[in-house]
Structure 1
Amino acid sequence: MATPEFPQSLGGSRGCWTLHGRRSRGYRGRVSIYHALESSPLLTVFLVVAAGTALGAVRFGPLRFGAAGALFTGLVLGALDPALGKGLALLQTLGLALFVYTVGLAAGSTFVRDLRRQYPLMLVGIGTLIAATAAAGLAGIALGVDGPMIAGAFTGAQTSTPALAAASEAAGSSEPAVAYSLAYPIGVIVSILAVAAVAGRAWPARHDQGGNSAEGLDAASVLVSKETSLCEVPGYADQRVRLSYLERNDEVRVVRPDEVLRQGDRVLVVGQRADMEVAANYLGAGLDQHLAHDRTYVDFRRIVVSNRAVVGHTISELDMPGRFGGVITRVRRGDVDLLGRDDLTLEYGDRVLAVVPRPRLRAVRAFLGDSERKISEVDALTMGIGMALGLAAGLIKIPLPGGGTFGLGAAAGPLVVGMVLGALERTGPAVWGMPRAANLTVRQLGLLFFLATVGLSSGDDFAAAAWSATGLKVGVIAIAVTAVTAAAFLGGGRLLGLSAARTCGAFAGVVGQPAILDFANSRVTDDRIESGYAALFALGIIVKLVLVQVLVGL
C-alpha cells in the first residue's frame, strides 16, 4: 500500500508516518497545536506573555530579564513557526503607545523638577549617549553591518524598548528587533559589571548632599526649653522638618503655621532622622512619652487621595490649617514616605498622614476622598484624549535637509505628550495623572504586548542571525556601546563631584534598565540611587529616540 503524501508546507515528511501508514501521535498533536495558535493570534500572544513572565522571573546570577522574557519567548515560538507572527502590527503599536504614554505621565513632573536641580548630570547623560551612538556607528561601519542592524544593536545594548520601536518604524523591517534581542543580554550584563565595580566606593562627592533613605522619616516628642518662633527652628523654613502635635497647659492641639513656641511646650517633630535630631536639639530635650499616643483630642490617619478636586494641587493649596485646623506631615507614594512639604503636589493613590482635631477627621476623609475603588480606576476620557494627542503628534513629519523627514512616530509621540500632560498635572477640571497602581498595570501590560508581538514577528530572522557572523558582529557592537556608556557616564559623574551612589543610579537611568537599578540598590542603601535614576530615565529615552534614527540611515 502506498504511503500517502503529507504537505511539505506543514513540515511533514515520510519520517513522520508509522510503518502502518498512520501519522505519529506526537506529530499529530504538534500540528493541532500550531493550527490552534495560528487561528487565534490573541491566544498566542497571551501564552507568550505568560511564559515570558515566568522566564523573566528567573534569576541568572545578578541578571533577571523581567518583561524582556516575553521578547525571548516570542522569538523562540516565532522561529518555530513564522506564521504565528502575522497580523500583530496593530497590537504591537497599541502596546507600545500605552507603555510610553504611561511612562511619560509618571515622569513628566519629575523631569521638570530634576531639570532645574540636576542639569549638569543630564548634560553628561546627553554627551554619553552621543558618544555611545558614535561608537555604535563606527563599530558597525568597520564590521560591515547595515544601519538598521546597528540601530538595533544600539537599542539592545541600551535596553531601550521605545528606541527599538522608533528604529523598527524608521527601518520598516525586523532587523532592528533581531539585533536588539542579540544585544540586550550583553547590555545588561556589562552594565551590571560596571555598577559592581563602582557601587559602594567612597570617592570624593563635594557637590552631592548625603542620602538618608536608610533612615527614612522619623518623629520625636520634644520638651521646648525656650521661647522660639517656628521659622527659627532649623529645617522648618526650608521644609525639611514638620511639627504637628502641641501640648500646652495640659491642652493638646495641632501646631499652627504662625505658632510661637513657649518654654514648657511639648511638640512632635517629623523629618528625616538627621534633620529631625538637629531641630529637636535646638528646641530642647527629648521626651520618653510620644505625644501621638494620646488621641483623645488630636487624631491622625493615613488617608487615600482619591478626590479629583484634590489631585494635582500642592499641600499648601489645600490649606489644611485653615480648613480643618490640621496638618499633613507625611505622604506615602508607592513604597516611599515623603515629607509633607508645602510644595509637594498630590497624586492619585497617595496616602497622606493627616493630623487633625478628632472631630474633624471625618470631614478630612471626605475632602481627600479615601476611596480604594476610585484609585484603581482609569479615567477613560483623559487617557483617550492624551493617547489621541500622542499618536497624532507621532504622525507629524518635519522635512530635513537632503529630502528626508523626521517624525516622533508611535514611540516618541505618546511619550512626549505624556510628559507634557504629566508636568501640567491638571487643566481645569481635567486631571491628566493616573493612579500609580493603574499606571503601573497599564504600563506593564502595554510593554508585554509590545515585546511579545515583536518577538513573534522577528523569530524567523532571529534564528537565522543568532549563530551567524552577523550575530557575532552585533555582539561586538553591543559591547562597544555599553563599555563607552559606562566609562563616559561613570567617569563624568565622578568628575562632577557626585557620589558613587547617585552616579550608579543615574547610569541605570540613562541605560533605562530596572535590573541595573535593582542591582545597585542591593549593593548600597542610599536614596541618591533612586534620585539619579529618575533624573535620567525619561531624558535617556528622548535622546535615544532621536539618535537611533541617525543610525538607521547609515
Structure 2
Amino acid sequence: MVVAVGAAIGQIKLGPLRFGAAGALFVGLFLSGMYPELGKGMGLLQSIGLALFVYTVGVSAGATFITQLRKQTNLIVAGAVVSIIGAIVTVIGAYVLDIPKNLATGLYTGSLTAAPALDAAINISKSSQAGAGYAVGYPFGVVVGIIAASIVVARPWAGENDTPSLAGTGLVALTALVENPVNMRDIELWKNQSVRISYLRRNDWTRVALPGEDLLEGDMVTVVGDEESVNTVISQLGTLSSVHLADDRRYVDFERITVSNPDVAGKTIAELNLPSKYGAMISRVRRGDLDLLAKDELALQPGDRIGIVVPSKELDVVTEYFGDSSRKVSEVDALALGLGLVLGMLLGLVTLPVPGGVSFSLGAAAGPLVMGMILGALRRTGPLVWSLPEAANLTIRQLGLLFFLSALGLGAGSDFKEIVLSSLGWKAALLATVTVLVCTVALAIAGKFMKLSAPRVAGGVAGFMGQPAILQEAIARVADERIESAYAALFTTSIVVKILLVPLIFFLL
C-alpha cells in the first residue's frame, strides 16, 4: 500500500517540483508515525531495495565511468570539500542552536542522506538520538536535493571542460557529392569518430563504405553525426547532394535491429568487425531515449536498437547474428543479476577500521554500487553478460527505489514524530535545511566554476547526497548518461568522506 500510494503522490506536481518515488518515503513516515508497529522488520526490505537500485545504477554507469574518470576528478574533490563544509555548518549550527551532539551528528547524516554514515554515528554515540536526527534531517535533505537537482539540470551550461554527451544533440544523415578526392583517414572528424560514413555510390553502384578507403571525385557518400560535424565534413568533401543514398535500396538496406543475442551483447562495435565479416557497418545505436553515434569503443547492450547499413543479400544473416528478438531482450539473466548483487553485498560487508575507534564498511548502499560499476565496465565475463536491457534496468531500479524509501519511511516515523513535536523540532529542521542548502549550492557553484555541464553537475549533486530519488528526478528531466556517471563517481567517495567526518563532528561537539 505504501508503495502504491507513495508512487501516486509522487506524480503530483507542486509547481516545478515533483517528488517521484520520494512520495513513498513521506507516506511511510506518516503511517509509521501513527502506527509505530508498522516499522518492525523493515530493515531487510530497505537493504534489498537499496541494493537493487544502486547495483543497476552502477551497471549502467560503469561502461562510461572509467573513460570519464579524468574529467570527474575535480568534481570528486569538490564533493569531498563540500562534505567538510557541511560538517563545519553542522558543528557551528549545533553550538548556536544548542542542539545535543548526538542529535546533531544524526542530523548531519540525515540532511546529507548518508545511511552508512548514520551507522557510524550510532556506533560512536551509543544513543538513539542519532537515529532520530537522521529521521528528521532526511526528508529535508530529499526535498532540498530534489529542488536543487531539478534546477541545476535545466541550466544552459555549455560545459566547456566536460566530455560531450553520448546522446549528442540529435543525429542527422546527409549525402555529399565528392568534389575533393580524399582518403577517409585524412578527414579529421571521421578519424576522431565525430561522424560515420555509411553509404558510398560510385558509377551508379551503391554499397557500404569501407573504413579508410579513398573517396574519388564524383563519388557520393552519406555522412552521419551531429548536424554541425556533418556539415563541416560535407564542405570538406564538396557539396550537399539533393539525392539521399539511404533511399536507394537496390543493393544496400538500412535496418533497425534489436540486440538480443547474448554472444553479441557486451562487445564493442570494433570487436564485431562487421565490415570484414558481412560488408556491413553500424551507424547509430538507439539506447532507451538516446540516439548514439556508433563509435568503435561503444559497447552494445541487450535491448539496443542498432541502425545498420548492410548489403541486401546479407540482411537475413546479420539479423540472425544480432538476434532481433523483443521477447528475449525482455528476459533478465537471473544468474548474472543475482551473482552481481551477492558479490556487491559481500563487498559491502568488508569492514575496515577508521580513526576514532569506529569501523567503516561500504554497506548495502556503496558495496553493490561499486561492484555494479566494476561489472558494468567489464560488460561480460565468459558466458555471463553483466549489462542489463535498458527497460529491465529501469524497471528494477524503480522497484528497488520504491522498496527502499517505503521501508525507510515505515522504520523512521516514530523517531521523526518524537523530535518534531519536541522543543528541538524547529531547531533540528532549521539546521538540517541550512546544512543541505549550503552543500548543494556550494557543489553547484563549484561545478559551474569548473565549466562542467549541467547534467553532470546535477548528477554530482545527487551522488553527493547519495539519494536515489534525487537522481531519478534529474534523469526524468534530461536524458543524459553523464548524470549517472557523476552520480556513481561521487556516491562512494562522498560516503567515505562523510563516515570519516562523523567522529570529528561528535568529538568537536
Task: Give the 3-state SS of the residue equivalent to 1:373 in structure 2.
Answer: helix
| Residue of 114, 135, 138 corresponding to 1:178 | 135
Query: Which residue is equivalent to 2:341?
Result: 387
Task: Give the 3-state SS of the residue equivalent to 2:56 in structure 1.
Answer: helix
How many Å separate the matches in 1 of 2:410 and 2:402? 12
Checking the alignment, whether the CA contact within 8 Å between 2:459 and 2:474 is kept in structure 1 is: yes
Residue type matched to 2:492 in 1? I
Query: Which residue is equivalent to 2:380?
Result: 426
Query: Which residue is equivalent to 1:43?
Result: none
| Residue of 273, 276, 279 corresponding to 1:325 | 279
| Residue of 223, 248, 273 corresponding to 1:294 | 248
| 1:199 matched to 2:149 | no
How many Å separate the matches in 2 of 1:438 and 1:151? 38
How many Å separate the matches in 2 of 1:336 and 1:472? 45
Task: Give the 3-state SS of the residue equivalent to 2:424 in structure 1.
Answer: helix
1:11-51 alpha-carbon deviations (Å, 9 max, x no partner) = xxxxxxxxxxxxxxxxxxxxxxxxxxxxxxxxxxxx00000
1:108-133 alpha-carbon deviations (Å, 9 max, x no partner) = 22221210233233332332233223
| Residue of 414, 419, 426 corresponding to 1:472 | 426
Checking the alignment, whether the CA contact within 8 Å between 1:182 and 1:474 is kept in structure 2 is: no
Offset at 1:188?
3.4
How many Å separate the matches in 2 of 1:214 and 1:138? 45
Cα pair distance change 1:270/1:156, threshold 3 Å: farther
Checking the alignment, whether the CA contact within 8 Å between 1:270 and 1:329 is kept in structure 2 is: yes
1:474-529 alpha-carbon deviations (Å, 9 max, x no partner) = 322233223322443233234334466765564455445246636975xxxxx8xx
How many Å separate the matches in 2 of 1:213 and 1:385? 30
Offset at 1:152?
5.1
Task: Give the 3-state SS of the residue equivalent to 1:345 in structure 2.
Answer: coil
Q: How does 1:143-542 map to 2 (within 5 A)?
A: 143-146=97-100, 149-150=103-104, 153-154=107-108, 156-158=110-112, 160=113, 163-164=114-115, 167-168=118-119, 171=122, 174-175=131-132, 177-184=134-141, 186-188=143-145, 191=148, 195=152, 199-200=155-156, 207=161, 215-498=169-452, 503=457, 506-507=460-461, 510-511=464-465, 513-514=470-471, 517=474, 521=478, 530=480, 532-542=482-492
Query: Which residue is equivalent to 2:9?
Result: 55
Checking the alignment, whether the CA contact within 8 Å between 2:107 and 2:137 is kept in structure 1 is: yes
Task: Give the 3-state SS of the residue equivalent to 1:98 in structure 2.
Answer: helix
1:388-444 alpha-carbon deviations (Å, 9 max, x no partner) = 212222222222345322112222222222221112212222222222211111111
How many Å separate the matches in 2 of 1:504 and 1:87? 34
How many Å separate the matches in 1 of 2:164 and 2:270? 27
How many Å separate the matches in 1 of 2:161 and 2:50? 38
How many Å separate the matches in 2 of 1:209 and 1:372? 32
Deviates more, 1:275-284 or 1:458-467: 458-467
How many Å separate the matches in 2 of 1:548 and 1:148? 16
Checking the alignment, whether the CA contact within 8 Å between 1:95 and 1:446 is kept in structure 2 is: yes
Same amino acid, percent of matched pairs: 43
Checking the alignment, whether the CA contact within 8 Å between 1:253 and 1:357 is kept in structure 2 is: yes
Cα pair distance change 1:97/1:206, threshold 3 Å: closer
How many Å separate the matches in 1 of 2:346 and 2:157? 47
Checking the alignment, whether the CA contact within 8 Å between 2:175 and 2:222 is kept in structure 1 is: yes
| Residue of 75, 95, 99 corresponding to 1:121 | 75
Cα pair distance change 1:265/1:315, threshold 3 Å: same
How many Å separate the matches in 2 of 1:156 and 1:278? 51
Query: Which residue is equivalent to 1:39?
Result: none
Residue type matched to 2:207 in 1? R
Give the structure-1-normalised TM-score. Answer: 0.82
Deviates more, 1:85-94 or 1:316-325: 85-94
Residue type matched to 2:118 in 1? A
More relative contact order in 1 or in 2 (CA 8 Å, sep 6+)?
A: 2
How many Å separate the matches in 2 of 1:148 and 1:291? 70
How many Å separate the matches in 2 of 1:175 and 1:425? 41
Checking the alignment, whether the CA contact within 8 Å between 1:312 and 1:345 is kept in structure 2 is: yes
1:134-161 alpha-carbon deviations (Å, 9 max, x no partner) = 3234424543445664455445544x4x
Task: Give the 3-state SS of the residue equivalent to 2:242 in structure 1.
Answer: coil
Residue type matched to 1:130 in 2? I
1:170-189 alpha-carbon deviations (Å, 9 max, x no partner) = 63754255124441355236
How many Å separate the matches in 1 of 2:501 and 2:219? 67
Checking the alignment, whether the CA contact within 8 Å between 1:502 and 1:532 is kept in structure 2 is: yes
Deviates more, 1:483-492 or 1:66-75: 483-492
Offset at 1:319?
0.2
Query: Which residue is equivalent to 1:545?
Result: 495
How many Å separate the matches in 2 of 1:457 and 1:321? 57
Cα pair distance change 1:460/1:507, threshold 3 Å: closer
Offset at 1:299?
0.4
Task: Give the 3-state SS of the residue equivalent to 1:285 in structure 2.
Answer: strand
Deviates more, 1:415-424 or 1:207-216: 207-216
Give the structure-2-normalised TM-score. Answer: 0.88
Q: How does 1:29-68 map to 2 (within 5 A)?
A: 47-68=1-22
| 1:135 matched to 2:89 | yes
Task: Give the 3-state SS of the residue equivalent to 2:191 in structure 1.
Answer: coil
Structure 2: segments with no counterpart, 5+ residues: none
Checking the alignment, whether the CA contact within 8 Å between 2:105 and 2:133 is kept in structure 1 is: yes
Task: Give the 3-state SS of the residue equivalent to 1:118 in structure 2.
Answer: helix
Task: Give the 3-state SS of the residue equivalent to 1:469 in structure 2.
Answer: coil
How many Å separate the matches in 2 of 1:387 and 1:214? 32
Offset at 1:169?
7.5
Cα pair distance change 1:103/1:152, threshold 3 Å: farther
For these two proteins, the number of residue pairs brought into alignment is: 495
1:30-85 alpha-carbon deviations (Å, 9 max, x no partner) = xxxxxxxxxxxxxxxxx000000001001111111111111110111111211222
Deviates more, 1:273-282 or 1:495-504: 495-504
Offset at 1:359?
1.3
Checking the alignment, whether the CA contact within 8 Å between 2:459 and 2:487 is kept in structure 1 is: no
